[in-house]
């Protein structure tokens, strides 16, 4: 079994319901065990800024799926939740990204692990730090990376 971290986001429709639905689909997979789910965070959009704020979470799982199988399952959840790809970096009902998968790295066209932008994005790092505060990325703790980041706004939903 492999530990992996996923980043989920939604900014279209009922954002919380979309995240809950994606979580339910992850939970119901026979080869995925959910270990931790972060709080929900309202986050300022990055990339394409003329869009609604996102709701983002991070999830820790244990899985017997390979990285490619996990990617394909995440993409099937995106299809089930009717994700459309109209504007690059634009609004989406759901986005599921593999952030980390054990110590696995992949730089292929289809699958890039660790997630290439995760160390620059407060909307990824803040929820991730909540569930794995001791995680070290390229020799730095998440708190150290966040301290150097001029990050977008991230507000925990209380």
Residues within the interface to ligand X6L (CB under 6 A): 9, 43-47, 54, 56, 89, 95, 117, 123
End-to-end CA distance of the chain: 33
* C-beta neighbour count of 144 within 10 angstroms: 12
Residue 123 binds which entry of ligand X6L, Mg ion, none, with Cβ cut-offs from 5 to 8 Å by kind? ligand X6L
State the minimum distance, in angstroms, from the CB of residue 55 to Mg ion.
Answer: 13
With CB under 5 to 8 Å by kind, the binding choice for 157 among ligand X6L, Mg ion, none is: none
Among ligand X6L, Mg ion, none, what does residue 93 contact (CB within 5–8 Å per kind)? none
Q: Which does 97 bind (CB under 5 to 8 A by kind): ligand X6L, Mg ion, none?
A: Mg ion
d(CA 57, CA 42): 9
Distance of CA 130 to the CA centre of its chain: 13
Eight-state DSSP code of residue 79: H
- Write phi, then psi, for 20 (nearest 5 degrees): -60, -40
* Beta strands at 154-156 and 41-43: parallel, antiparallel or unpaired: antiparallel
Task: Select from Mg ion, ligand X6L, none the partner in contact with residue 21, using the beta carbon and a kind-dependent cut-off of 5 to 8 Å.
Answer: none
Query: Least distance in Å: CB of 51 to ligand X6L?
Result: 8
Taking the complex as a whole, the smallest distance from the CB of residue 48 to ligand X6L amounts, in Å, to 7
Nearest distance from C-beta of residue 126 to ligand X6L, angstroms = 10
What does the alpha-carbon distance between residue 103 and residue 152 come to, in Å, rounded to a whole number?
28
Residue number with CB closer to ligand X6L (2 or 46): 46
Q: How many CB atoms lie within 10 A of CB 17?
A: 12
Nearer to ligand X6L among residue 54 and residue 73 (C-beta): 54
């Amino acid at each position: 079994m492999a530990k992996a971290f996923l980043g989920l986001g939604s900014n279209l429709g009922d954002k919380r319901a979309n995240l809950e639905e994606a979580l339910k689909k992850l939970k119901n997979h026979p080869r995925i065990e959910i270990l931790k789910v972060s709080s929900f965070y309202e986050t300022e959009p990055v990339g394409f800024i003329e869009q609604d704020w996102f709701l983002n979470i991070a999830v820790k799982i244990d899985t017997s799926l390979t990285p490619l199988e996990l990617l394909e399952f995440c993409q099937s959840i995106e299809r089930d939740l009717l994700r459309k790809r109209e504007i690059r970096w634009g609004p989406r009902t759901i986005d599921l990204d593999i952030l980390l998968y054990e110590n696995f790295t992949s730089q292929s066209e289809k699958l890039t692990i660790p997630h290439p932008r995760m160390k620059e994005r407060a909307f990824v790092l803040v929820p991730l730090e909540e569930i794995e505060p001791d995680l070290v990325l390229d020799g730095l703790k998440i708190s150290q990376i966040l301290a150097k980041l001029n990050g977008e706004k991230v507000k925990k939903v209380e």
